[in-house]
Amino acid sequence: MAEGKIVWSDEEGDLRKKKPNKGQEAPVNESKVILLIRRLTTGKGRAVIEITGLPSNKKWCQKLAKDLKKSLGVGGAFKNDFIEVHGEKIDQVKALLEKKNLKYKQTGG
């Protein structure tokens, strides 16, 4: 039995199901963000642009992923710690990041 850990409260109910920091994400200082961009290919030769080095603000990352996909007209996804953009669009991704005044570094090929 775990000592000292409260799991139930009359006011809040089951505390094990409560998510910490819900809705309290820190704002992103875009001038300090440096994204890492790299081009990956799968075994069948399909190219994917992977963007890492993202801040911990999930909503900001989702919005960036949505803006990139929509403006490029491609598929992709925001996964836990990176954004994936489908297609050979690395130059267009760089141009869009510059337009949004975001700093980046290209790694790999």
**pLDDT single digits (tens) 53-63:** 999 899 999 99
**pLDDT single digits (tens) 6-53:** 888 788 788 777 666 555 577 888 888 999 999 998 777 789 999 999
Domains contained in the chain, CATH given: 29-106 (3.30.780.10)
CB burial of 65-86 (b: ≥16 within 10 Å; e: otherwise) equals beebbeebebebebeeebbbbe
pTM, two decimal places: 0.74
